[in-house]
Amino acid sequence: MGKIFDVVLLILILVSVVFVMLESVKGFPEEVYDILYYGEWVITIFFTFEYIARVITIKKPSSYIFSFYGIIDFLSTVPLYLSFILVGSNVLLTVRALRLLRVFRILKITRYVGESNKLISALKESRPKILVFLFFVIIISIIAGTVMYLVEGEESGFVSIPVSVYWCIVTLTTVGFGDIAPVTPLGQLIAAFIMIMGYGIIAVPTGIVSAEYAKSTSKAKPDDDHYVHVNSQACRNCGASKHRDDADFCHHCGDQLHPEDILEKDA
């Protein structure tokens, strides 16, 4: 029941986002915009009721209202009302895109949870290292950008250091728009060097996440149903060893075991 409601909500969210996107497209017949407009109002009123229902039903409303999803839910309803009052405030409509984040509520009750949690924990583990890495990327971009500004000059599109740094980030991340490109031989040489560096250092965050992720999933534990931990004690009667830790009798001869025989306790 709750799951069906969640699916309906998910569809409404997606429809709403598609509506926002289509509204920005020019060239449709006038009726389409009318449909988008009224559809938008229907969805917003639905979300408004949902928001009010959540606030009422939750014991401690403040904890919801100021939570991540509470704020998103609020921002998902307000913009349209505001745009009704303040004509031309379609900037606020953007906020609705954040509503998409609520999709994860549904993900939470699916089998994807375990996976995405592992993913997020691996990312969290790697965060300090990735921040150090991104810091390096920005420093390289600032230095290389300044050099390119000096080498290429304004005729090639490197009109200022910030634009040069922007170009460096475009190049180092291997995006390469091509709206700005070096034309002097020296500029192209430096650019080649930046590209090869970018190509090489992309390995760093990948390696980090890969290793962290492998670590967080490896910790090979034998499965509990088919393996039990055994210890080194020997049966006093038959000498059989590798008894279960909680065994009271020998698995081989049935003789009583003596726990004091366990010599080494391993961690």
Q: Which residue, 40 or 212, is less far from its own copies as judged by CB?
A: 212
Minimum distance from residue 124 beta carbon to its own copies (Å): 12
Q: Which residue, 58 or 142, is less far from its own copies as judged by CB?
A: 142
Minimum distance from residue 145 beta carbon to its own copies (Å): 8
Facing residues of 249 across strands? 256
Q: Which stretch binds its own copies (CB under 8 A): 3-11, 44-52, 81-89, 94-102?
A: 94-102
Minimum distance from residue 203 beta carbon to its own copies (Å): 4
Q: Is 244 in the site for its own copies (CB under 8 A)?
A: yes
Return phi, psi of residue 24, to 5°. -80, -10
The CA distance from 1 to 17, in Å, is 24
Q: Which residue, 58 or 71, is less far from its own copies as judged by CB?
A: 71
> Which of 35, 89, 255, 259 is the binder for its own copies (CB under 8 A)?
255
Within 118-147, which residues bind its own copies (CB under 8 A)?
118-119, 122-123, 128-135, 137-139, 142-143, 146-147
Q: Which amino acid is at 186?
A: L
Q: Which stretch binds its own copies (CB under 8 A): 18-26, 37-45, 52-60, 80-88?
A: 18-26
The CA distance from 246 to 147, in Å, is 71
Q: Is 207 in the site for its own copies (CB under 8 A)?
A: yes
Minimum distance from residue 207 beta carbon to its own copies (Å): 4
Q: Is 222 in the site for its own copies (CB under 8 A)?
A: yes
Q: How far is CA 224 from CA 77, 95, 164, 219, 247, in A?
A: 49, 48, 58, 14, 17
Q: Which residue matches tokens 């998910």?
A: 10
Q: Which amino acid is at 264?
A: E
Nearest to 136 by CA among 207, 213, 212, 202: 202
The CA distance from 243 to 71, in Å, is 57
Within 29-88, which residues bind its own copies (CB under 8 A)?
none
Tokens linked to 204: 């760093």
DSSP 262: -
Residue 99: CB atoms within 10 A of its CB come to 23
Within 179-198, which residues bind its own copies (CB under 8 A)?
179, 181, 185, 188-189, 191-192, 195-196, 198
DSSP 50: H
Q: Which residue, 55 or 209, is less far from its own copies as judged by CB?
A: 209
Minimum distance from residue 174 beta carbon to its own copies (Å): 5
Q: Is 7 in the site for its own copies (CB under 8 A)?
A: no
Tokens linked to 37: 């407009």
